[in-house]
Structure 1
């Protein structure tokens, strides 16, 4: 019963639509009516600015982290904490407070990995920020990092690098979330291929997309 209740708590944590609420209460804007219409970090940066975007990113990240450590806080050791993180990601993307809609799962998934294995998220951050600098696209960096995570979660434990051994539930969840993130970015991928993806005014923009931010 405790496990079920904590999974529900994890989902509700993930469901907190930080971008939507911050936009509404502090900027009197509904993010769903601007930009991409997404309530996640990137559109918050685009519409509400750097400070709001940073706060939304931090909240969305910590939702995943807190959900992942919930079982540890309550002494539950019979199931991988990644399962609780998964429920937070599902809450983030299918929020009960936002008509079961939400973000693209990147920040909250990063929070799950942070709560499970901080070294792994540091490794993925290298790929994320390097690709972000080269392409100026958060979408490209997100998709690449998701793909890298899927590969590394299969390979690294075999060599006892970062992971002491396989946690097959964690591995399965990361594989699922990697695919989920890529699918959620399918429109971005199409725009990247057409060289019409929105980018930040940061980095090299080596694929020559149009500027937006």
Structure 2
């Protein structure tokens, strides 16, 4: 059922996702646009490279909150529209809102539609949709990052962990969540195409979280 509440929630989700935290933090505290340095993306990984760990952590946390908050706007729409909170219909509303927020991060209206790769915002969405699977993704990300120091590789493998865990570990009965998990894999492959090429060639840059600042 389409209502003024669900339409308003979708608009709000996009606006949440469009908040360019990396761009605004870079401009407010350093007077630079992070998209002009490093990989050219307005995301947490590039912020770590360009501005250092404090700014990178701030951007990562805020981007996760964007996805988490936008996805949970489903709770404000009303049970008459979304159905019970444990229903398939409610899960579908959460997915729609979360995906809209991720699109906002990729194409932010507040930053000339030049955003990041959406991994942190995507993770915030996963946290809201399926918390146990999200924690498993975190574990994979940490293990891969500690052994490789490649954020891109860690993000890719963590992203692929979600659908695999949904299907084989948690065996979710909601088909839309399973389909969404598969779509995550496609999105990650598309947005990380250049990273994958650099990883294959051995030219992908590593991220040192203990380094104060990368010029």
Q: TM-score range by the shorter chain?
A: 0.7 to 0.9
* CA deviation map 1:93-139 (0-9, x unaligned): 11112222211111011100111222111111111110111111000
Higher share of residues assigned helix: 2
Report which stretch shifted further, 60-69 or 89-98. 89-98
Q: By how many angstroms is 1:174 displaced? A: 2.3
Q: Which runs of 5+ in 2 are unaligned?
A: 84-88
* CA deviation map 1:163-198 (0-9, x unaligned): xx4222222222212210121111011111111110
Matched residue, 1:66? 69
| Residue 147 of structure 1 pairs with residue 151 of structure 2 | no
Structure number with higher relative contact order (C-alpha < 8 Å, ≥ 6 residues apart): 2
CA contact 2:14–2:100 (8 Å) conserved in 1? yes
> Secondary structure at the residue paired with 1:97?
helix
Matched residue, 1:207? none
CA contact 1:188–1:197 (8 Å) conserved in 2? yes
Matched residue, 1:2? 5
Matches of 2:177 and 2:8 in 1, distance apart? 20
> Secondary structure at the residue paired with 2:111?
coil
Q: Which runs of 5+ in 1 are unaligned?
A: 159-164, 204-211
Matched residue, 1:107? 120
Matches of 2:173 and 2:159 in 1, distance apart? 19
Q: By how many angstroms is 1:202 displaced? A: 6.5
Matches of 2:78 and 2:23 in 1, distance apart? 33
1:107–1:91 distance in 2 versus 1, CA, 3 Å: same
RMSD across aligned C-alpha pairs, in angstroms? 1.8
CA contact 2:136–2:161 (8 Å) conserved in 1? no
| Residue 201 of structure 1 pairs with residue 208 of structure 2 | yes
Matches of 1:74 and 1:64 in 2, distance apart? 17
Instruction: Give the total of aligned pairs.
Output: 199
| Residue 134 of structure 1 pairs with residue 154 of structure 2 | no
* CA deviation map 1:24-60 (0-9, x unaligned): 1111011111111111001101111111111100110
CA contact 2:53–2:209 (8 Å) conserved in 1? no
1:7-22 equivalent positions in 2, closer than 5 A: 7-22=10-25
Task: Give TM-score, length-normalised by structure 2.
Answer: 0.87
Matched residue, 2:43? 40
* CA deviation map 1:146-174 (0-9, x unaligned): 1222222222343xxxxxx4222222222
> Secondary structure at the residue paired with 1:100?
coil
Matched residue, 2:188? 181
Task: Give TM-score, length-normalised by structure 1.
Answer: 0.87
